[in-house]
Amino acid sequence: MNSITSFLVLVLLLAGAVAGVYISPYLAPCFLVAAVLLGSTLKMANAWQKFVILRAGKLQSAKGPGLFMILPVIDSVTAVIDERIQTTAFNAEQALTKDTVPVNVDAIIFWHVNDAEKAALAITDYRQAIDRVSQTSLREMIGASMLSTLLSDRKASDEQLREEIGAKTAAWGIAVMSVEVRDVAIPVALQDAMSRQAQAEREKQARMILGSAEAIVAAKFVEAAAIYEGHPQALQLRAMNIIYETTKERGATILMPSSMVDSMNPVAISFAVAGADPVNSTPGLKTAA
């Protein structure tokens, strides 16, 4: 009994008690009968509820939300249907995929009742039926899918389950909004093998990238060598730049082979360092202090 009906019944009972005491004791039974009839006649459904009414065993209507009245004795409320979105978790344990790999899959389904009359009359317990149908459809989907597809393409699996379960529950007045696969667990030994395979693939890709980079660098070196071959001065300037870059750090000691110094015209460099004039100086002679 809802709060409004309870309040009205209480008012009638109090009015009958007052009338029986102060007016006439014969009025009290009348108020009592009216309270009983009101309590069995006036019903109230919440905004998310539908009351399925049978009249003499036959479907009369589905009423709600709000206040409504039924005929006592003749009418009966056979089911109160909640039309809000519901969630049901289901799983499949040790189900074999198409490539015979045992997996444990957990999923959740979002659904709601869109036809209260069918949900009340077409099936005994629609909640239990949804759970059973979901588990069966999940096992069928796993058996028809490869493990790689099941792991990588979750959205396709979700959509397939939604369509299959929705087609089976439509006759019960139930609409499936979405199905989401939450977890796919595979054996530990297979996880290790897949991890090693993934590491090998990454190592292979890294080596291929490194080889491509080496080929590009080698091609650039060949191109630079061709340029230096035709321009010896460019090679000397490049060598001097390398020496400059290596001696920028303080306290660094650089040992260079004599052939490298000769290639950079050591006579001119030595005169430049000593501050002497290479025209007036004779190679191999020391200047007097």
Q: Domain 86-186 belongs to what topology?
A: Tetrahydropterin Synthase; Chain A (3.30.479)
What are the tens digits of pLDDT across the range 14-29? 988 888 888 888 888 8
The rounded Cα 46 to chain-centroid distance in angstroms is 34
> In a 3-state reduction of DSSP, which class is residue 53?
strand
How confident is residue 159, by pLDDT bands cut at 50, 70 and 90?
A: very high
Tell me, what's the pLDDT at 177? 94
CB count in 10 Å sphere of residue 259: 7
Residues 186-192, mean pLDDT to the nearest whole number: 76
Tell me, what's the pLDDT at 23? 84
Q: Check pLDDT > 70 for residue 123.
A: yes
Residues 101-112, mean pLDDT to the nearest whole number: 92
Which residues pair with residue 179 across a beta bridge? Answer: 109
Tell me, what's the pLDDT at 178? 93
Write down the domain spans for the chain.
3-82, 86-186, 188-249
Select the more confidently predicted residue: 139 or 268. Answer: 139
Residues 120-141, mean pLDDT to the nearest whole number: 92
Tell me, what's the pLDDT at 21? 83
Tell me, what's the pLDDT at 254? 65
Decide the pairing of beta strands 174-185 and 102-113. antiparallel
Residues 205-227, mean pLDDT to the nearest whole number: 87
What are the tens digits of pLDDT across the range 231-286? 777 777 777 777 777 676 666 666 666 665 565 554 444 444 444 444 444 444 33
Rounded distance, CA 27 to CA 129, Å?
52
Burial 125-157 (b: 16+ CB within 10 A, else e): ebeebbeebbbebbeebbeebebeebeeeeeeb
How wide is the angle at C-alpha 226 spanned by C-alphas 223 and 228, nearest 5°?
Answer: 110
Share of the chain above pLDDT 70, in %: 84
Q: Which two tokens stand for residue 56?
A: 């003499």
